[in-house]
A and B are shown apart, each in its own frame.
Chain A
Amino acid sequence: MNDLNIASNPVTFDLNGRTATCSVPAMTSLLDLLREAGAITSVRAGCRVGRCGACNVLIDGQAMPACLIMAWQLPGRRVETVEGLGGDPDFLKVRQVLAEESALQCGYCTPGVALSLVSGLRERRNGTRVDLAEAVAGNLCRCTGYGGLKRVLDNHLNPVSSRNTADGAGNRNLISGEPE
């Protein structure tokens, strides 16, 4: 570790409903902290630059890449991963529809996708207008071509499409017979 990381101060935060305390260098990423100290391996390293979404977690309910969150930012925060969402109605719904539409293949990116959707559904509950297509735009998936995820949004979670329609030409979906 480099010099910045020498100081290890205890950090206390809420992890999946339990108080977690650990002593790690301040610049340890939440990604490394969860995987290596917390044995939470659903949070995965895809790019470590915040681009791929494979390490998404919920911070105070908002989906964020854990690779960009450092230990010093954690005190007082509520961190959730899929391991802690077993009883969460939004997660159960997301889990059900992802499986129903076979919206995953290798599954490496899927916990991150699920958390983006849960985050969006929670915001909706709070009355915010949320475009779930935007919510998953930061989740890279190399296997599926997003076909299943499209069906999840179109058939289950996003009945009234709120996809961006700024460019008129791009948004027709005539193959499935559903002009928007």
Chain B
Amino acid sequence: MTTEFRASVVTLDAGSDDSGSLTTELYRRIEGRLAYPTDLLDIPGLLQGAILRSEHAHARLLRVDTTRARRMPGVHAVVTADDVPGVNRFGIVVRDQPVFCVDRVRYEGDAIAAVAADTRAQAQAALAAIEVEYEPLPLVSDAMTAEQQPPLHESSNLLAQERFDCGDVDKAFAACHVVIEQEYRTPRQMHAFMETEGGVAIPDGTGGIVFRVGCQSGHRDVGQLADILDLAPSRVTVEAMATGGAFGGKDELTIQPAAGILALKAGRPVMIQLGRFESCRAGMKRHPVVAKMKTGCDANGRLLAHKVDAVLDTGAYASLGPAVLENYLDHATAPLYRIHAYSVSGRLVYTNNGVSGAFRGFGGNQATFAIESQLDALARALGRCPRELRRINLRTVDEPGSRHQPVRWTVAPVDLLRQAQQSPLWTLQKETSGRWLTGTGMALGAQGNGLGDGLPDSGGGRIALTPGGRIRVEFGFADYGQNVGEAITRAVSKGLGCGCGEIDVVLGHSRGPDSGPTSASRSSVLVHGVLRRMLPLWKAAVRQQAAVLTGYSLDHLAHGPGGIFHLGQRVLSYRELAENGRLEELVADAAQDFPVAPGQEKPVGRYLQLQIATVARVAVDRLTGRVRVTDLHHITAAGRVIYPPGYLGQIEGAAVMGLGMTLTEDMPMHEARMQRNNLDQYLIPTFQDAPAQRVDVLDDTPGNDPFPVRGVGELGIEAVAPAITSAIEAATGVRVHKLPVDPGVLLKGIHRQENLA
């Protein structure tokens, strides 16, 4: 069964969308008045901290002598592994990363010691005075052979492996008319947030400590930091400040452990901001993946068999690697398509190649690149249109997900495909001679919201009236550019019928409500769900007091702009209520579990699903092999849009990040050393590289849908890479399977094609 096309299509436009509070917030940022964690330079007594990083990617640590450094001018504290008060280990999934190395370094950014001094220059000078003696060890620099090398941790270099099976895949391959086998490689992409990892640790004077930092989960970090600092969790406060970009790269602890230990030792506030060199070397990266895929279909193009063997390089420490592996494999099962039988397996290995962790897309986009390339290859082998091949294999809304789990789409996948086929980019004339070769291609992608796979996932919020009569809404989420505060403001304004200017949103405070991590595109879903529970509670409490204060019957009182209304007349302002009411009762808390499929004992994969179709137009320079993406047209199905400029910006921003991964971005390693150390070498897209983009939203979520809002922070990156390589193939006849696209390789392919012609 296929659903008839009925969803409404809206092309998003950022202009003339203003809630009042939005302009105020944007002006604050444009005028430079929003202070980021690394701008907090006016804290009295602030010291500057710096971290000593390992010179070797793998070595025994024989001696760390800080004697000279301690005597350097301006130095207030020098700390090493001996000074870690509690557990010298951290990691969100597996605590395998030392705050400061003890007897062994495992990557060239590993932390060995840290210094706090009056100035940055003094701190750097003291670092240089720390004497370290290493005994180099053999490198584990190749993920493909890592398992055969001596282990970097207690047991083997195989940190995790997982496998999803469906049906008898060998039998299914035997029935195939066409089989495509191909290896795919994706790069070690760097987050390259404009504000490097940083923030401040401030002793509170009573033995506790406050962190004002760029991070993605204040509440979770409290637990890890309390263990490291040997403090009760109640003595550790984390303020997840608005930060200059994160994209997953600030999900794990960064500077917090070193800053905290220094601050406690010096008894003064300590700021650490990584320099860009240091951030390149020590910071998190996207997992590079090498995947062998084998996919087959019958003579009609129906997908019968699919096999995946993937190796993910997690580097020296686990961080979120095991979760990335799971999401990679989930996407490698081709969630959008019906496949008779599959066997999908992956291995996550330790190497000395830096540390890989969370990054927008979280393994999913790496898998989608390969899956969509496989479908194009099958279509080519069959002589069929790739869109038609997709159409006959797409799942319907009534089918379970690829792992047999219940899933909830917002529109039928085929509707999205149909919309993508109507993109104006297909009608552009193709340039086939002259310097530029142009072509159009597309890819589909699916992505789930939430942490998934039955992991504990819940979040809460709070609403209160302030003594001044303002509506204060608190969530634990961090704002790193997505402006979740604006989405909250709009939803509350709608729910209470009040102006956006009456609402104060407070985010990211570990003493406030725990909303869980700001990751996995989960914030919007939870905000919507929590407000749906919380606002009625608060409204009832407010009206109850309003009834007492005004004498009107409870049933005839309603919320409106500025306060409480009776028969269309405002009879009590929030300010009057705050002055005369019982404020302590005008507070409501609510929390909810992240939505999972009903009736599942152990949830598998993700229940709330989103989709995107990306149509790309490229121009390939026949002289240099360089690729320009001129246009990206996205069709998204991700539920209702509550904040159009935010939605548009998330899709556009993620897409250009995916464009970077496709065309230029990689952190190449040589003997386990990073070969790029700044933004003049590691090239992220500039204004001149940015394509024209259009975002069409497909939505037919009914008004009573329990989950009408989905999170779109990662959706835009899902299908960009295969859409671009598909367009490159349309332009040149050359299909690229390794990212980023190497212009030299592409040029060779173009020449080969032209010689054949």
Contact = CB atoms under 8 A, between A and B. Distances in A.
Interface of A: 1, 35-36, 39-52, 54, 81-83, 86, 94-95, 98-111, 114, 133, 136-151, 155, 167-177
B26 A143 contact: no
Interface residues of B, number: 81
Contacts of A43: 32
A137 B688 CA distance: 6
**7 nearest A-B residue pairs (beta carbon):** A42-B32, A107-B29, A108-B244, A145-B656, A106-B481, A169-B436, A102-B645
Contacts of B26: 98-99, 102, 104, 107
Interface string B228-251: 000000000000001111010000
A54 B631 CA distance: 27
B678 A49 contact: yes
Interface in B601-629: 617, 619, 621, 628
B648 A52 contact: no
A44 to B, nearest CB: 7
Nearest to A156: B15
A121 B23 CA distance: 22
30 contacts: A39-B42, A40-B32, A41-B35, A42-B31, A43-B32, A44-B244, A95-B30, A100-B14, A101-B15, A108-B36, A108-B195, A110-B32, A137-B688, A141-B687, A142-B192, A142-B245, A142-B653, A143-B481, A143-B649, A144-B656, A145-B693, A146-B690, A147-B653, A148-B652, A150-B687, A151-B15, A169-B436, A169-B628, A170-B619, A174-B692
A1 B120 CA distance: 9
Given A136-B687, A174-B425, A106 B480 contact: yes
B518 interface: no
Nearest to A173: B692
Interface string B636-650: 000000000110110
Given A48-B275, A105-B649, A147-B690, A141 B194 contact: yes
A176 B694 contact: yes
B599 interface: no
Given A170-B630, A174-B424, A140 B679 contact: yes
Contact of B243 (A50, A106, A155, A172): A106
A130 to B, nearest CB: 14
B631 A173 contact: yes
Interface string B285-315: 0000000000000000000000000000000
Most A CB within 10 A of own CB, among B195, B479, B482, B678: B195
B193 interface: yes
B648 A147 contact: yes
Nearest to A108: B244
B398 interface: no
B435 interface: yes
Interface of B: 14-18, 22-23, 26-36, 38-39, 41-42, 121, 125, 191-196, 242-245, 247, 273, 275-276, 424-425, 428, 431, 435-436, 438, 479-483, 617, 619, 621, 628, 630-633, 645-646, 648-649, 652-657, 659, 678-680, 684-688, 690, 692-694
Contacts of A151: 14-15
A6 to B, nearest CB: 12
Contacts of A94: 30
Contacts of A139: 686-687
Contacts of B481: 105-107, 143
Given A142-B194, A167-B436, A110 B693 contact: no
B679 A51 contact: yes
A34 B196 CA distance: 19
A98 B30 contact: yes
B652 A170 contact: no
A99 B23 contact: yes
Most B CB within 10 A of own CB, among A49, A83, A136, A149: A49
B30 A110 contact: yes
B630 A39 contact: no
A133 B688 contact: yes
A107 B631 contact: no
B657 A145 contact: yes
A149 B656 CA distance: 13
A12 to B, nearest CB: 23
Contact of B14 (A44, A102, A141): A102
Contacts of A106: 29, 193-195, 242-245, 479-481
Given A44-B195, A81-B32, A100-B14, 14 more contacts: A45-B196, A48-B276, A82-B31, A103-B14, A106-B193, A106-B195, A107-B28, A139-B686, A142-B245, A143-B653, A147-B649, A150-B687, A168-B436, A174-B617
